[in-house]
């Protein structure tokens, strides 16, 4: 009887503790350096949700391993809701399949809410001889391996869109990985590569200034910043691997805490000012709650397994 009473008191104390959440500052990790897109979105989300965190919500940059350092810290951290992370999809469905990490699958953490998404775009110089995506692919078909296409790096969503495009179109392009837009954009403008798969927010000002031209977007519908560029599916290739930014918490974080964070962040991303800030960067607000998000993560995890095996980044 005493044991039952003790367990009851313990459960009551635990419930009471989480009922007071948050009674101290919450740390929101960004797995990428200050000034990058993940960091920008994390700070805008924190600013929009701060009213629900009376003790404060603090953004800390913990970069490394393509965001995996921060994601691993949270996934295996204390499940109390006081340390969470804003992380891109690739960190959760690509990195754990090609690196030895402390988290492996979407069941190893708690998805809270997806906040934004974007899909890469293939761009070329404005004076490039290929007037559309089909002309570009036909050139690649005539000259296997000659066409060089840049990306932000091996294993990124941009890289995997390129690999999926080659598979769908039945052509060979040479992938040139860079360390970001600061390297890849001068390379394409200088003629060192023929094209680059870029983030829409990076390519948008260059396309608007007519310093680059968009050939195809890797998403399910046309991008408003590139209205003349068809989707890959419109062009005949079913390729659309996107980049999503989402909040996750450690495995075992209590449902009431997950709900509190979700309910604090959802109004922040529904604010028109947040939507406008994202639009200026070529990014879409993309709300998905945690339960739907886990199912989406598993779907993407399996889809990326196939791509990674096909290109040899996962051994058969």
HEC string of 137-189 equals: HHHHHHCCCCCEEEECCCCCHHHHHHHHHHHHHCCCCEEEECCCHHHHHHHHH
pLDDT, tens digit, for every residue of 11-29? 444 445 556 999 999 999 9
- At 18 the pLDDT is 57
On the question of pLDDT at 37 being above 90, the answer is no
Query: What pTM value is reported for the model?
Result: 0.85
- At 14 the pLDDT is 47
On the question of pLDDT at 92 being above 70, the answer is yes
On the question of pLDDT at 238 being above 90, the answer is yes
DSSP summary character for residue 20: T
On the question of pLDDT at 54 being above 60, the answer is yes
Higher pLDDT pick, 36 / 262: 262
With a pLDDT cut of 90, the percent of the chain lying above it is: 83
The values of phi and psi at residue 141, to 5°, are -65, -40
- At 1 the pLDDT is 47
Q: How far apart are CA 40 and CA 115, in angstroms?
A: 13
Give, in order, the Cα–Cα distances in Å from 230 to each of 67, 132, 147, 216, 285: 31, 9, 21, 5, 21
Residue 79 near residue 252, CB atoms below 8 Å: yes
Mean predicted confidence (pLDDT) in 114-129: 97
Domains annotated for the chain, with CATH where assigned, are 24-117+244-310 (3.40.190.150), 121-235 (3.40.190.10)
Match 């007071």 to its residue by tokens.
20
Tokens linked to 100: 């030895």
Residue 31 near residue 63, CB atoms below 8 Å: yes
Closest CA to 108 of 81, 77, 80: 77
Helix crossing, 200-208 with 181-189: angle to 10°? 40
Higher pLDDT pick, 118 / 36: 118
Q: How far apart are CA 81 and CA 59, in angstroms?
A: 14
**What is the pLDDT confidence band of residue 282, given thresholds at 50, 70 and 90?**
confident
On the question of pLDDT at 53 being above 80, the answer is yes
Q: How far apart are CA 177 and CA 158, in angstroms?
A: 10
Residue 249 near residue 110, CB atoms below 8 Å: yes
Closest CA to 88 of 160, 7, 187, 192: 160
Higher pLDDT pick, 164 / 35: 164
**What is the pLDDT confidence band of residue 152, given thresholds at 50, 70 and 90?**
confident
- At 179 the pLDDT is 82
């Amino acid at each position: 009887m005493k044991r039952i009473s003790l367990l009851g008191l313990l459960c009551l104390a635990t419930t009471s503790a989480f009922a007071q959440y948050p009674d101290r500052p919450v740390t929101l990790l960004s797995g990428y350096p200050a000034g990058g897109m993940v960091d920008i979105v994390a700070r805008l989300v924190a600013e929009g949700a701060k009213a629900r965190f009376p003790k404060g919500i603090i953004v800390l940059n913990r970069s490394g391993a393509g965001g995996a350092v921060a994601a691993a810290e949270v996934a295996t951290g204390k499940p109390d809701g006081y340390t969470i992370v804003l992380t891109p999809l690739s960190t959760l469905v690509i990195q754990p399949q090609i690196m030895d990490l402390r988290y492996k699958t979407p069941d190893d953490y708690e998805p809270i809410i997806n906040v934004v998404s974007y899909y890469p775009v293939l761009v070329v110089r404005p004076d490039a001889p290929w007037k559309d995506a089909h002309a570009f692919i036909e050139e690649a078909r005539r000259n296997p391996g000659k066409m060089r296409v840049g990306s932000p790096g091996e294993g990124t969503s941009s890289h995997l869109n390129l690999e999926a495009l080659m598979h769908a179109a039945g052509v060979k392009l040479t992938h040139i990985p860079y360390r970001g837009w600061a390297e890849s954009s001068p390379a394409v403008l200088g003629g060192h590569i023929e094209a680059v798969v870029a983030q829409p927010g990076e390519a948008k000002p260059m396309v608007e200034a007519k310093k680059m031209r968009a050939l195809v977007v890797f998403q399910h519908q046309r991008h408003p910043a590139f209205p003349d560029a068809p989707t890959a599916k419109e062009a005949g290739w079913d390729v659309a691997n996107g980049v999503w930014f989402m909040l996750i918490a450690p495995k075992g974080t209590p449902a009431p805490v997950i709900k509190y964070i979700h309910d604090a962040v959802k109004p922040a991303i529904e604010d028109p000012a947040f939507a406008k800030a994202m639009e200026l960067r070529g990014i879409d607000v993309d709300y998905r709650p945690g339960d739907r998000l886990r199912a989406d993560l598993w779907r993407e995890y399996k889809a990326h397994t196939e791509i990674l095996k096909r290109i040899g980044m996962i051994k058969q």
